[in-house]
Amino acid sequence: MARRNKADQPRPARKDRRGMDPVRAGILLLLGAAIFIWFGFTKDIPFRSGFQLKAVVTDAVSIRANSPVRIAGVNVGIVKGVEPYGDGDGPKRASIVTMELKDEALPIHKDATIKIRPRIFLEGNWFVELRPGTPASPRLSSGDALPITQASAPVQFDQLLTTLQSDTRKDLQALLVGYGTALTHEPVGAENADQDPMVRGKTAAEALNMSLATAAPALRGTAAVNQALLGQNTGDLSKLISSTARVTRALGEDTEALKGLVTNLNRTTGALADERENLGRSIAQLGPTVQHGKEAFTALDAALPDVRALALELVPGVKETPATIDAALPWIKQATGLVGKDELGGVAAQLAPTTQSLASLGDENLRVLPQADLFAQCVTDYLLPLGDIKVDDGDLSTGVENYKEFAYTLVGFNGESQNFDGNGHYLRFQVGGGKYAWATGPYTDGNPKTTGVSRQWARTNTIPLGTRPAYPRKLPPLVRNKACKDQKLPNVNGHAAGPADGTDPQGVPASIYTPPAPRKATVKSTSETAAADTDITAALAERLNPFRSAGGDGP
């Protein structure tokens, strides 16, 4: 049997039709309307908790639940509740405001702030203005609270009216009267003593009127300063204020640090008050200092073009600097190896002891060189002039300096020494006999027992004529407290010695010369003894002295 198509079946009558129950349809309609109204007015999804932020405020004013929360005028959440905070009482007790924020309000940072503000001038329709903070601060989590230092409540109109009570108005009237009296009061002599001569004898109002003549330049300078305070870029002043606010907020959070700041500020102001006279003089010098500074800056500004030209001239050299450095690196590497421990560094370490010895030698030279200088002066000023003296020997005089005569004597001895033996040439002197016998006076032979006793005997055909200069009976003066160069030169051309004494040709004549008696030792001072011990020139002169005694002591 063929099946009939459903479309071909006849449509039942309306009264016979069966559909949804009217009650069920009404409930569904009411439920849909409720959902539509909920989303239309609350704009929130039920049974879903958003980001919650709490803040402690000093005065919640008329903030209630469902009051809007705005960022830059855009609603980003609502107030979920306002509860008392702490155990305070009174009309201005602190409150904690709980806010629920949407995702577009996030993130909220730790330095965020809130303000309770009215929508209209005459108050009403309060809302919470939220500033989410700076990205540099840490982020807050849901449920965190902002401290009371980061929340502020508005000043209400009734608070403004209550500030001008009767006692306040009387104080304000007294202030105005006192201010007027201060402006019109004519100063007396004592009050004029410390005043500037320009305003001496004038009232405060007259002095202020005189200041108006210079007010225009001052205001222009103040305007320039204010313009400079705005900064070079847009937002510099706001950044400064924001930074100051953060510093102030940090001080508010740390009360101990704030106490220390106030204490230190009090000490600083006290120190300035103690030095008010010096501070006044310093302030008086600010004007000339600023003037000199202006002149210096003017000179600096004039020098900048030359500096700029120099900088431009240096640009090619600066561009070549990297290549120069690259070229110098191999040399620096080689130089580093050269001064290393294996090269010059090791040599320097080995030379260190020698350097120390040289330093010691330098110290010793500081003591030796002055003595060497004295010796050189002795040679230059005493020995050489002594050798340049020409000895007058009568008919036997040569007319040459005595140092040349000494050289001539050596040449003569060399010519006379013709005899020789296995040891070489030698010179022999033989004094012939004669009828005149004579003897020398006692002389020193080095033996203390025979000092002043031994004599030399000889015979000659004639009596000796004597010597030139005569051997003195008294030693010439030797000034020990003077240097060798300052000693007096001996007179080698003094009077000649006379002939030998006695007339008996067979007898023994008296000595043609008798050495002077040795000088007695004299007590010298400690300074003279020390000078004699340390003076090389004096020691040399002592050794060259032909009249010193056999024991080495000077005359």
Token readout for 332 is: 């620096």
**Which residues is 145 bridged to in the sheet?**
54
Tokens 């402690």 -> residue: 56
The pLDDT-based confidence of 150 (bands split at 50, 70, 90) is confident
Average pLDDT over residues 178-185: 84
Q: What are phi and psi of 163, to 5 degrees?
A: -70, -25
Calpha distance 306→312 (Å, rounded): 10
Q: Does residue 16 carry a pLDDT above 80? A: no
Calpha distance 251→266 (Å, rounded): 17
DSSP H helical segments within 339-421, as ranges? 344-378, 384-387, 402-416
Least Cα distance to 80 among 36, 113, 115, 44 occurs for: 44
Q: 19-33, 131-145, 445-459: lowest mean pLDDT where?
A: 445-459
Q: What are phi and psi of 254, to 5 degrees?
A: -105, 90
Report the pLDDT value the prediction gives residue 553, as an integer from 0 to 100: 41
Report the pLDDT value the prediction gives residue 513, as an integer from 0 to 100: 39
Q: 327-331, 421-425, 456-460, 465-469: lowest mean pLDDT where?
A: 465-469
Q: 62-66, 360-364, 428-432, 541-545: lowest mean pLDDT where?
A: 541-545
Over the chain, what is the mean pLDDT?
A: 75
Q: 84-98, 362-376, 482-496: lowest mean pLDDT where?
A: 84-98
Q: 116-125, 152-161, 434-443, 444-453: lowest mean pLDDT where?
A: 444-453
Calpha distance 127→118 (Å, rounded): 6
Report the pLDDT value the prediction gives residue 366, as an integer from 0 to 100: 85
Q: Does residue 112 carry a pLDDT above 70? A: yes
Token readout for 302 is: 């004039």
Report the pLDDT value the prediction gives residue 546, as an integer from 0 to 100: 47
Report the pLDDT value the prediction gives residue 450, as an integer from 0 to 100: 57
Q: Tell which wins on pLDDT, 142 or 542.
A: 142
Report the pLDDT value the prediction gives residue 416, as an integer from 0 to 100: 77
Let me know: does 57 contact 151? Beta carbons within 8 Å: yes
Q: Does residue 360 carry a pLDDT above 50? A: yes
The amino acid at 549 = S
Calpha distance 327→408 (Å, rounded): 73
The pLDDT-based confidence of 544 (bands split at 50, 70, 90) is low
Report the pLDDT value the prediction gives residue 41, as an integer from 0 to 100: 61
Range picked from 90-104, 327-341, 504-518 for highest mean pLDDT: 327-341
Tokens 């039920």 -> residue: 46
List, in order, residues 6 or more apart from 186 with CB less than 8 Å away.
201, 203
Q: 417-431, 434-448, 511-525, 526-540: lowest mean pLDDT where?
A: 511-525
* CB-neighbour burial class of residue 460 (10 A; exposed 0-12, middle 13-18, buried 19+): middle
Calpha distance 515→134 (Å, rounded): 117
**What letter does residue 90 receive in the DSSP assignment?**
S
pLDDT tens readout for residues 209-236: 888 888 788 888 888 888 777 777 777 7
Let me know: does 347 contact 354? Beta carbons within 8 Å: no
Report the pLDDT value the prediction gives residue 429, as an integer from 0 to 100: 64
Report the pLDDT value the prediction gives residue 284, as an integer from 0 to 100: 83
Q: Does a cis peptide bond (omega within 30 degrees of 0) precede residue 469?
A: yes
Ramachandran sector of residue 248 (left: φ over 0; alpha: ψ -120 to 50; beta: rest): alpha
Calpha distance 393→429 (Å, rounded): 22
Report the pLDDT value the prediction gives residue 34, as an integer from 0 to 100: 78
276-284 and 255-274 helices cross at what angle (nearest 10)?
80
Report the pLDDT value the prediction gives residue 444, as an integer from 0 to 100: 59
Tokens 């008996």 -> residue: 504
Q: Does residue 77 carry a pLDDT above 70? A: yes
Report the pLDDT value the prediction gives residue 539, as an integer from 0 to 100: 53
pLDDT tens readout for residues 90-101: 445 688 889 999
Element containing residue 129 per DSSP (H, E): strand 126-131
Token readout for 199 is: 């305003």
**Which residues is 420 bridged to in the sheet?**
425
Range picked from 122-126, 416-420, 471-475, 497-501 for highest mean pLDDT: 416-420
Task: Kindly give the pairing relationship between strand 145-146 and strand 51-57.
Answer: parallel
Report the pLDDT value the prediction gives residue 499, as an integer from 0 to 100: 55
166-184 and 204-211 helices cross at what angle (nearest 10)?
70
